[in-house]
Amino acid sequence: MSQQNKELRKAVGDVIVGIILFIIGIYVIIESLNMKIFKNFSDAPGFFPLFLGIIIAFLGIVLVLQAYKIGAFPLIKVVLSKENLKKFVKDDRTLRTAVLTLIMIIYIYVLIGRMHFAIATMLYLVSTMLYLKSANWWKTLIISAISTLLICVVFQYGFRIPLP
């Protein structure tokens, strides 16, 4: 992919981010206007967020306009086409990021707090390293076990830090 093509694809990303920012900005403005006024509006809790909402919505528009100026608009259809999205989903890098993020989500949102931290950590390390093929399975098990043990012992007993 040429450098210019990459820039244009990033600009398409900017258009999407710009639109999201505009929506966030509008939401913040509405929410701020609904906040309680105690004495005057100038010292109300919503006064500063109101300005932030306006600035964020404005900067979202600027981002979209910048992308428009470098010619990103005609590319939006191409980048968001079914074929291209299929290619993106099947891309090795996308898949790797998705799997690694999913393992992290399971570790943080499901395992931690429901079982002992050491067991949760061991499960996380084994699954991540096996997926990444960091080492063969028995080396992965040994490295994960030693790392878990070291982390737990050093932080809990060495530095007297509570573990989740």
Q: Which residue has the tokens 């090795």?
A: 92
- Please list the residues that pair with 115 across neighbouring strands: 112
First to last CA, the chain: 45
Q: What is the nearest approach in angstroms of another protein to the Cβ of residue 51?
A: 8
Q: Which of 9, 11, 17 is nearest to 60 (CA)?
A: 17
Token match 């990303």: residue?
Answer: 13
Indicate the residue type of 150.
L
Residues 6 or more apart from 9 whose CB is under 8 A from it?
1, 75, 79
Please state the closest distance from residue 91 (CB atom) to another protein, in A. Answer: 11
Task: Select from 47, 68, 73, 141 the one that contacts another protein (CB under 8 A).
Answer: 47
Q: Out of 10, 77, 86, 116, point to the residue binding another protein (CB under 8 A).
A: 10
The residues, any chain, with a CB within 8 Å of residue 8's CB and separated by 6 or more, are: 70, 71, 72, 75
Closest approach, Cβ 68 to another protein, in A, equals 13
Q: Is 155 in the site for another protein (CB under 8 A)?
A: yes
Q: Which of 1, 36, 74, 157 binds another protein (CB under 8 A)?
A: 36
Q: Which lies closer to another protein via its Cβ, residue 78 or residue 146?
A: 146
CB atoms within 10 A of CB 26: 15
Residue 116, SS3 per DSSP: coil
**In the complex, what is the shortest distance from the CB of residue 26 to another protein, in angstroms, rounded to a whole number?**
13
Among 80, 86, 87, 101, binds another protein (CB under 8 A): 101
Q: Which residues bind another protein (CB under 8 A)?
A: 3-4, 7, 10, 13-14, 17, 21, 24, 28, 31, 35-36, 38, 40, 42-49, 51-52, 55-56, 59-60, 62-63, 66, 70, 93, 96-97, 100-101, 104-105, 107-109, 112-113, 117, 121, 124-125, 128-129, 132-135, 143, 147-148, 151, 155, 159-164
